[in-house]
Structure 1
Amino acid sequence: MSYSLPTLAYAYDELEPHFDEKTMKIHHTKHHQTYINNANTVLEAYPNLAGQSVEELIKDLNKVPDEKRTFMRNNAGGHANHSMFWQGLKIGTTLAGNLKAAVERDFGTVEEFQTKFETAAAARFGSGWAWLVSKGDKLAVVSTANQDNPLMGEAIAGVSGYPIIALDVWEHAYYLQYQNRRPDYIKAFWNVVDWDVASERYNERPS
């Protein structure tokens, strides 16, 4: 089983003016597709890795031969991260229910959570991601470098947790529209978070 580019549930221009059409199309069809193409070369060479989801693979990179481990950390990680990112975007949803209650419990207010998330996303030097994760019975904000994912665990990614929302802060995600104004891109993210998907992930998180 090889990886394939996920179909988006929206048109490339549907998240405008917050995320522009040109960036969305290039990001999805070029950047994400490249991670998939690269990862598939390893799946073809090592068929024993192809029978699991990309999330299962990145949870245990020790299954990957030594000479391909960093390559798959980057490329299978890129596929996993982007797949979650696309799924978590939509205009017009509202933070509510169990997830909102958990955010208020663990961060004080929704605004305090957003400030902490924005700080983590802006402070990530170079390329990487910002995440809201579930760790045990608590929520936490973390960031990772490059295409690392909290599912990889602290020994690899430096953080751990079950991802609830993800924000790509690689320049390719925003530079055409926002240039060097990463903080503006981060703030725009709140207009396109699919809180319904985030709530589903929170409610279905592993115990």
Structure 2
Amino acid sequence: MALRTLVTRKALGNSVAFRQQLRGLQTYTLPDLPYDYGAIEPAISGEIMQLHHQKHHQTYVTNFNKALEQLDDAINKGDAPTVVKLQSAIKFNGGGHINHSIFWKNLAPIREGGGEPPKGSLGWAIDNHFGSLEALVQKMNADGAGLQGSGWVWLGLDKELKRLVVETTANQDPLVTKGSSLVPLLGIDVWEHAYYLQYKNVRPDYLKNIWKVINWKYASDIYEKECP
């Protein structure tokens, strides 16, 4: 009875996370969305958002925690081959958790400012580096549509060069895999699970419409923090 009072119901529902907590390991949990699933319709349907968040992102979190627990066991046992073998699972599932945690913040309902153009220093930097917001959108849409297989298209800040960059990453690789000085400002998920129920196989239509709910305020806040 006393043990139950020490853990949350959510932790009890996730046996892997619960075991990690008891052993003092870092445990990751699914973040709540800052809006309802249907709040960014019609750009992205509520059904997609719910499945994407509750099923796909939750799976990354669950498997990330499981891989970290296995890694801890392997390190304690001195099992070097297993330590090496687990790196791909940690990168994939950890990257999935990192990327999606950013993605949800990159979106906002229209009534809460979604789709409003960036202002201030980020707006100026976009004009300076890409010519205009429209040119940036066209480049990200083209790069996202042209990415073979699954992955992400990013607007990032290179903190060393103090300039904006557009990059793509495969699978669930986070932006930092393209350079240690890169900070993600905006990431668009181009895995089919992000759009297929609504847009079928027409990825360019999804990319065109997602800009209507992009949360530029979040991207601007990160930019001003990282590039004062």
TM-score by length of 2: 0.78
Q: CA deviation at 1:88?
A: 1.2
Task: Please state how far the C-alpha of 1:206 moved relative to its aligned partner.
Answer: 6.4
- The residue number in structure 1 matching 2:184 is 163
Q: After superposition, where does 1:138-149 map in structure 2 within 5 Å? A: 138-149=163-174
- Give yes or no for contact 2:107–2:215 (8 Å, CA) kept in 1: yes
Distance in structure 1 (CA, Å) of the matches to 2:126 and 2:41: 27
Percentage of matched positions with identical amino acids: 41
> Alpha-carbon deviations, 1:40-85, whole Å to 9, x = none?
012223459xxxxxxxxxxxxxxx9311111111100000000000
The number of aligned residues is 188
Q: Does 1:199 align with 2:220?
A: yes
Is the Cα–Cα contact under 8 Å of residues 130 and 136 in structure 2 kept in the other structure?
Answer: yes
Q: For the residues of structure 2 that align with 1:139 and 1:70, how far apart are their CA atoms?
A: 29
**Distance (Å, rounded) in 1 between the aligned partners of 2:136 and 2:183:** 17
Q: Distance in 2 between matches of 1:142 and 1:115?
A: 13
> Match of 1:105, SS?
helix
Given that residues 155 and 165 in structure 2 are in contact (C-alpha distance below 8 angstroms), is that contact kept between their aligned partners in structure 1? Answer: yes
Corresponding position: 1:104 with 2:122: no
Q: Output the aligned Cα RMSD.
A: 1.9
Task: Give the match for residue 55 of structure 1.
Answer: none
Find the residue that maps to 2:184 and give its secondary structure: strand
Alignment of 1:25-104 (within 5 A): 25-47=50-72, 65-92=83-110, 93=113, 94=116, 95-104=118-127
Q: What runs of 5+ residues in structure 2 fail to find an aligned partner?
A: 1-25, 74-81
Distance 1:99 1:206 in 2: 10
Q: Secondary structure at the match of 1:131?
A: strand
Measure the CA separation in 1 of the matches of 2:192 and 2:128: 33
- The answer on whether the counterparts of 1:130 and 1:169 sit within 8 Å (CA) in structure 2 is yes
Using the alignment, how far apart are the partners of 1:148 and 1:160 within structure 2? 15
Structure 2 partner of 1:117 = 140
Larger helix fraction of residues: 2
Say whether the 8 Å CA contact 1:85–1:165 is kept in structure 2: yes
Rounded Cα–Cα distance in structure 1 between residues aligned with 2:224 and 2:72? 33
Q: Which amino acid is 2:139 matched to?
A: K
Please name the residue that 1:56 is paired with: none
C-alpha change, 1:114 and 1:36, in structure 2 (3 Å) is: same
Preserved CA contact (<8 Å) 1:150 1:160: no
Contact 1:2 1:40 in 2 (8 A): yes
1:153 CA drift (Å): 3.6
SS in 2 for 1:17: coil
Counterpart of 2:89, as a letter, is F
